[in-house]
Amino acid sequence: MDNSSDLIKIIIADDHAIFRAGIIKVLNLDSQFQIIGEATNGLDAISLINNLSPDVALLDIKMPGKTGIEIVRELNTINSSTKCLVLTNYDDPEYILDAIGEGANGYVLKTIEPSNLIDSVKAVSEGEIVLDPAIATLVAKLWRQRQSPNNDIVGIKSLTDREKETLELACGGLRNKDISSEMGISVRTVEGHFNRIFSKLGVSSRTEAVLQAVSENV
C-alpha cells in the first residue's frame, strides 16, 4: 500500500551545509516527513518549489540569489500552495518584523529545540501560523509602536478568561490541537476563541494577536 500521499514533503534551503545536515537529521526522526530537495541559494530554492511543489519549504533568511523573505513574497504573489517556515539567526526586531509582514507561515530561531522544530513543521503543513515565543518577545514592543495611533485597540482586558487562556497558550508556542487538549475543549472551539480574540483586539492573524499579548505583558 502506498502511503506517500500521507507524507509531508519538505525542501530545505540554507547556504550552510552543516545546518542543512542537522535539519535533515532532526526531520528524519519523524516518519511523517519526506525531504525531497535541498537548495544552497534562493534561486535554486524557488526552482525546487516550482518544480516539486513541496508541502513545506524551510527557508533561511539570508541566502545568495534571493533571501528567504523574497522567496515568501514571490510565492505569495503566485498563490503557491507551499507553506513557508522561516528559520533565522537574526534577532534584529526591525528585520524580523519586516519578515513577518511578508506573510510566511512560520518564524522560528535556529536555536529551537529539535522536538519543537518537528512540531512547527507539522503545524505549518496543516495551515497553522507558528511564531517562536523568543521572536514574539523580541518584536512585540516594536510591533506595538508601529500600530496606528488612531487604531483604538481595546486590548487584552476585553477578553474573557477562556480567551485569555487560549492566547496565553498560543504565546507559549502551542498548536491548536495542543491548546485543545490543555483546555479540555475541541479544536473547533479553540478556533472560535481565536476568531473572537481577533475581533476584540482589532487584528487579523494569530501572529498579530500573540504580538499584542506579549506587548501587554500577558
| Topology match between the domains 4-137 and 147-215 | no
Q: Please state the separation of Cα 20 from the chain's center in Å.
A: 19
Contact 65, 74 (CB under 8 A): no
How far is residue 11's CA from residue 18's CA, in Å, rounded to a whole number?
Answer: 16
Give the single-character DSSP code of 55: S
Domain boundaries, the chain: 4-137, 147-215
How far is residue 63's CA from residue 46's CA, in Å, rounded to a whole number?
Answer: 12
pTM value is: 0.77
Could you read off the pLDDT of 40-95 as tens digits, one per residue?
Answer: 999 999 999 999 999 999 999 889 999 888 999 899 888 889 999 998 886 677 77
- The per-residue pLDDT for 151 is 52
Could you read off the pLDDT of 129-175 as tens digits, one per residue?
Answer: 888 887 887 787 777 777 655 455 567 888 999 999 999 998 887 88
Contact 159, 167 (CB under 8 A): yes
Give the single-character DSSP code of 32: T
Beta carbons within 8 Å of 18's beta carbon, 6+ residues apart:
none
Give 150: exposed, middle or buried? Use CB within 10 Å, 0-12, 13-18, 19+: exposed
Contact 135, 107 (CB under 8 A): yes
Q: In the CATH scheme, what is the homologous superfamily, with its name and number, of domain 4-137?
A: Response regulator (3.40.50.2300)
pLDDT band of residue 1 (cuts 50, 70, 90) is: very low
CB 43: neighbour CB atoms within 10 A?
Answer: 15
Closest CA to 62 of 30, 80, 40: 40
147-215 fold? Arc Repressor Mutant, subunit A (1.10.10)
